[in-house]
Amino acid sequence: MVDKYHLAFGCYGIIGNQSELVVIKKNGGPYTNRYDLPGGSLEDGEGLDQAILREIREETGLLVQVYQQLGITSFKYPWDYENWHFNQHFCVFYNIQKAVGQLKGEVSQFDGQDSLGAVRVPLKKLSFTNASPLVMWAKLYLINPEQMNLEDQTFSTWQVLQRPVF
């Protein structure tokens, strides 16, 4: 029997350089209590470009002015959620080249908001013990953009953290 996957889709922004990355403090889903990239699901009828601009504003307080889509990949891993035991997370990545405004350590909470706020974290402090696979993908991209790999990644294990690491 083939395992059924819960399918998730979203747009995610990489705001950083070779030394640090803007991440959110995640408060929902399989990346709860970890650092994650700002971004998320599209609203009904919303385009990819509109989604990334909205999500970054809602989750970080920043207004994106210049950005470029990098591509799409997916991450597969075990995760018990409702009737599913596996998740496949499709991610459209954007390189955020210019954003203005004040980074918010705390953001407004509303239905569907899964960010507690945003912080800048040195790349050397980000690892699979405290960050989502998206953050780790972004870290590799920032260190060496020429080696960008959009192949799907599969993890044999995944742990939802019970306590925040931030």
Chain segment 74-97, per-residue pLDDT in tens: 999 999 999 999 999 999 999 999
pTM metric for this prediction: 0.96
Angstrom distance (rounded) from CA 159 to CA 60: 25
Closest by CA to 80, choosing from 161, 160, 165, is 160
Angstrom distance (rounded) from CA 9 to CA 56: 16
pLDDT digits (tens, 9 = 90+) for 46-73: 999 999 999 999 999 999 999 999 999 9
One-letter amino acid identity for 117? G
Cα torsion 138, 55, 40, 119: sign: positive
